Structure 1
């Protein structure tokens, strides 16, 4: 098996055609292939590996150098994307070999965490990934937001195209990255797609000169639907200001749909609000994201409760050995010499440890799911080390 990294220009004849077959309508007309060159600059920062047989590309996988907040610490993250195989070369182990090498390289270059959107979650769980919450889609009538039209809210709004408002939008996502657990953003080379396409409206909430909320959207037709991208707000006042803006479309659109984080409770936004909230998970077209630790370096220094536990890591290419996790100082310390350490022991897979670090599973759930063996005494310590938290990945890639 020949695996090699391709240059950005080489993507046009290797990675892009195979990825287009897997993730887009096909076959493409010859003139549609020109779209490949148009998107080429946005892939410049990616690391793309291909498997070749002779002159033919039979498998491809890419990693996007991103950043993610893990319990308040922003870390370099490998966003895995565009993983696909030629239809005549599937189930030959190509993807496994590609992912091993791709994650080896990203880990060695300092990316201690990774995330992806899977075609099948169980496949990537074997690579140590664990599921994260999927963003919710909220659908409602703008008429239901009418009470907000009478509210005197602090702040003001600006309304423009994404092409002109991109810089403020990007700056606010940087703020969210610093403040929200699980939040991830694309590199600037990829994120500028929003600016260059300029095909959405952007409404921005500001207070005292600072951006406190953003929402991108498009309207599909008169009496149709206002389709909003992620609603990002620093606080309830900022969220209400953005919803007040949507209420002004009552005589223009029949429906409003928005993406919100899993910790949002739209049914409590207003009294008597008729709202539908959905998080549909269905592969391969509607997956929930997954994430994993690639290095224990990701844990060092994280906020932690006062507890100590020994973990034996098993069955993984990147996380192995026995380590003492100590949160006595309020920040997690990793001790490799555990020979004399008195602490309860848990045996964890990479997915099990990742589930605890990202806060998506209780230690007992890790045990039930078969992602480790967690005795009751170790579970109590792990709960104090890794309190449950709800991550919000945000980025789609």
Structure 2
């Protein structure tokens, strides 16, 4: 170790609040208390459909240059995962490095996707109601304030309540990108509801939609416009927010914009009606990854969600027997396949294609348990940018 003590000690610091997330720092240090490597174990609740379970995620992984290529990061990850397994049943990596996490039990479990919306399509859908070259804006849309955040959180949770991989946001959530000297941070637009008096629409104070535009560094070329989130109560509100974003593009002479929302969301359905492209990436390694830490405990915690998916397909006794078979590994013994099935990244048919063998008596049940995301029983899993760590 080039002059450093050969003994390296592992430690965990108590949880602390960091940008609306509870974070525990896991570290390796030499006997002289010199830092060797560290990572963050981030605590949250994550959805597998209608049920949310406690989970932890790995982030901020770093080894000091003089200690690299000596196996320290592998040791740190193994000890951190052992500690996580005493607290939660499932672990996640938000942006895994290719080829790094598979040997620790992680597997890609979410595809990254976004909508690309042509401005011309939005313009045509407005029916010529607006003068696009004017500076006039939709009177119901304004910039957000901190007081709007609880309502935005409620809209988000309502829109994505049953979506796998979704984080439950609490009333104090605020992971908008902050403004700094060289970066303007997130720009957020909110849409207020209105009512009609004597044929005139009067804007109210209740928010029924919002759009968070990706923060850009000052001086960046204005060749793109990306929306990190766009959530609204109904289709008319969604169209108004999309039109507001399209107006910004028109003023910058951009012909399209990107919205980071899943294709089966309300925003996705409205954009598809307007005309858009949905681009999705399925990385063979790295990206958004997950690992089962305690299989029996996780499956039992998700039993109500599995029951919801079946819609009473089996009597209680037969259903619970099948759940126990899943707990014990008689059904889908590969944990990599299991986490993909539970999240909806795979359907049961996908698992069969990849070699999973299931007894005939469980085939119809597994089809109901694991329909895959983007189906009536289960929305597509999706990781929103503002909840990544």
Q: With structure 1 as the length reference, what TM-score do the two structures score?
A: 0.68
Listed one character per residue, the Cα deviations across residues 259-312 of structure 1 (whole Å, up to 9, x for unaligned) are 122533687332xx4x4543356699xx5312233333332322335599xxxx
1:5 to 12, 27, 40: 12
Counterparts of residues 237-316 of structure 1 (less than 5 Å): 237-249=236-248, 250-254=250-254, 255-263=256-264, 264=268, 268-270=272-274, 273=275, 275-280=276-281, 288-295=287-294, 296-297=297-298, 298-304=301-307
Listed one character per residue, the Cα deviations across residues 233-258 of structure 1 (whole Å, up to 9, x for unaligned) are 44433322211222333234414222
5+ residue gaps, structure 2 = 1-7, 130-137, 195-204, 374-379
Would the aligned equivalents of 2:12 and 2:27 in 1 still touch at CA under 8 Å? yes
Give RMSD over aligned pairs.
Answer: 4.2
Would the aligned equivalents of 1:215 and 1:228 in 2 still touch at CA under 8 Å? yes
Asked if 1:365 is matched to 2:366, the reply is: no
1:64 to 36, 42, 46: 42
Asked if 1:53 is matched to 2:56, the reply is: no
Number of matched pairs = 338
* Counterpart for residue 311 of structure 1: none
Would the aligned equivalents of 1:302 and 1:332 in 2 still touch at CA under 8 Å? no
* Counterpart for residue 115 of structure 1: 92
Counterparts of residues 1-397 of structure 1 (less than 5 Å): 1-6=8-13, 42=19, 45-54=22-31, 55-109=33-87, 111-150=88-127, 157-161=140-144, 163=146, 165-176=148-159, 178-185=161-168, 191-192=174-175, 194=177, 199-207=185-193, 211-217=207-213, 224-249=223-248, 250-254=250-254, 255-263=256-264, 264=268, 268-270=272-274, 273=275, 275-280=276-281, 288-295=287-294, 296-297=297-298, 298-304=301-307, 328-329=315-316, 333=320, 345-366=330-351, 368-369=353-354, 373-374=357-358, 378-389=362-373, 390-394=380-384, 395-397=387-389
Would the aligned equivalents of 1:50 and 1:98 in 2 still touch at CA under 8 Å? yes
| Cα gap change, 1:48 to 1:204, in 2 (>3 Å) | same
Structure 1 Cα separation of the partners of residues 193 and 21 of structure 2: 36
Shift of 1:223: 6.7
Shift of 1:355: 1.3
Query: SS in structure 1 opposite 2:338?
Result: helix
Structure 1 Cα separation of the partners of residues 105 and 366 of structure 2: 19
* Counterpart for residue 132 of structure 2: none
Shift of 1:72: 0.5
| Cα gap change, 1:335 to 1:365, in 2 (>3 Å) | closer
Shift of 1:107: 3.6
Structure 2 Cα separation of the partners of residues 217 and 52 of structure 1: 40
Query: SS in structure 2 opposite 1:66?
Result: strand
Listed one character per residue, the Cα deviations across residues 358-382 of structure 1 (whole Å, up to 9, x for unaligned) are 1211335335546x55456555432
Shift of 1:116: 1.4
Listed one character per residue, the Cα deviations across residues 173-219 of structure 1 (whole Å, up to 9, x for unaligned) are 33345343321257788735546767332122455876443211158
Listed one character per residue, the Cα deviations across residues 213-234 of structure 1 (whole Å, up to 9, x for unaligned) are 3211158689743332122344
Structure 1 Cα separation of the partners of residues 215 and 21 of structure 2: 31
Structure 1 Cα separation of the partners of residues 172 and 81 of structure 2: 21
Higher relative contact order (CA 8 A, sep 6+): 2
Query: SS in structure 2 opposite 1:393?
Result: coil
5+ residue gaps, structure 1 = 10-39, 309-325
| Cα gap change, 1:262 to 1:61, in 2 (>3 Å) | farther
| Cα gap change, 1:361 to 1:144, in 2 (>3 Å) | same
Structure 1 Cα separation of the partners of residues 348 and 139 of structure 2: 45
Query: SS in structure 1 opposite 2:111?
Result: coil
Would the aligned equivalents of 1:162 and 1:201 in 2 still touch at CA under 8 Å? no
Query: SS in structure 1 opposite 2:225?
Result: strand
Would the aligned equivalents of 1:159 and 1:201 in 2 still touch at CA under 8 Å? no
